[in-house]
Amino acid sequence: MMSAIRTIAEVELLTIARRRWTRLFTLAFGLIVAAVAYASGSIHELGGVDGFERTTVALVPLVLVFVPMVALLIGITGHAAEPGSEAYLFSQPVTRSEIVIGKCIGEVAAVGGAITLGLAAGAALLVGGAGPEGVPKFLVLVVATNLLAAVFVSIGALVAAAVPGRVTALGAGVFVWFCAVLLYDGLLLALAQWLTGRSGARVLFVSVFGNPTDLVRVLTLSVSGTPYVLGAAGESWQRFLGGSERAILLSIVTLLAWTVLPLEAARRMMARRDL
């Protein structure tokens, strides 16, 4: 089983890596990191940890918009196909579960490689201008971004398994991206304002775990951002969860659950799907 999954993952990784737009995304991501570092003054005006912290804070909003979009696109296009178009792959002596898992692993590796290379290119400029002191904190952004990509690749696989047809699945993926990145926070803020008091605060604290983009934002800024960047709300969130270490652990476990559960649902759907 592991041999089949590894082979499928390698094929999927090579297929995605050979696409021109994947290389363009890697290049664009690196240029964005460099531009943000320069615009925030992290290369010339600041040194040491401060330069990396300011760059991290400036990069987080961009990461939370673009990475889910790219990961969903790769996850959906890798798994969604018109009926009968993947007869060759599914006719091989491998199970559907092996195909779904292998493809997801290859897609996560491809997206993660592009993200890591892009961030590394920008980080190299920061090291040259601000020194290497802030690299460990910047690595938190790299790891969190890769986890976010894995989550949305898994969600993309679920969308592709649940919605027949690639075009329809891509439309559903756009809706998922819109809900996760834009709509969710607005609805929760409105609900918290309506509830007011402690109930509203508790809704906001718990709601962070209901959206992986919010979870990555809070986790990244609380660990690798500038001190007290989240203000009183961040401190209250950590106290609500029993301390900073427990908050970080719960965040990582939740992100892993956000990756595994949609993938398991996609695997079960594909096992029952009429191809």
Region 165-176: mean pLDDT is 89
Non-local CB neighbours of 173 within 8 Å, separated by 6+ positions: 72, 73, 75, 76, 156, 159
| pLDDT tops 70 at residue 274 | no
Tell me: pLDDT of 20 over 90: no
- Top pLDDT among 257 and 185 is at 257
pLDDT of 195 reads: 74
pLDDT at 71: 92
**Residue 61 burial class via C-beta count within 10 angstroms: exposed 0-12, middle 13-18, buried 19 and up:** exposed
With cut-offs at 50, 70 and 90, classify the pLDDT of residue 201.
Answer: low
pTM of the model: 0.87
Crossing angle (nearest 10°) for helices 49-79 and 135-162: 20
Query: Is 262's pLDDT higher than 60?
Result: yes
pLDDT tens column, 173-190? 999 999 998 888 888 777
Taking the C-alpha atoms of residue 41 and residue 139, their distance in angstroms, rounded to an integer, is 20
Q: Band the pLDDT of 249: cuts 50, 70, 90.
A: confident
* pLDDT, tens only, 30-75: 788 777 777 765 555 555 445 677 778 888 888 899 899 999 999 9
Residue 237: the pLDDT is 66
Is the pLDDT assigned to residue 14 strictly greater than 80? yes
Judge whether residue 129 has pLDDT over 90: no
For residues 239 and 78, the model is more confident at: 78
The residue to which tokens 């679920």 are assigned: 158
Alpha-carbon separation of residue 168 from 11, 65, 80, 179 (angstroms):
25, 22, 9, 17
Structure tokens at 19: 């696409």
Dihedral angle, C-alpha 115, 149, 74, 72, nearest 10 °? -130
Percent of the residues in the chain that have a pLDDT greater than 90, as a whole number: 19
Q: What is the pLDDT of residue 257?
A: 94
pLDDT exceeding 70 applies to what percent of the chain? 78
Minimum mean pLDDT range among 57-71, 115-129, 175-189, 211-225: 115-129
Least-confidence region, from 47-56, 118-127, 187-196: 47-56
| Angle at which helices 96-130 and 20-39 cross, to 10° | 30
**256 pLDDT above the threshold of 90:** yes
- 136-164 confidence digits (pLDDT tens): 777 888 889 999 999 999 999 999 888 88
Answer whether 42's CB lies under 8 Å from 55's CB.
Answer: yes
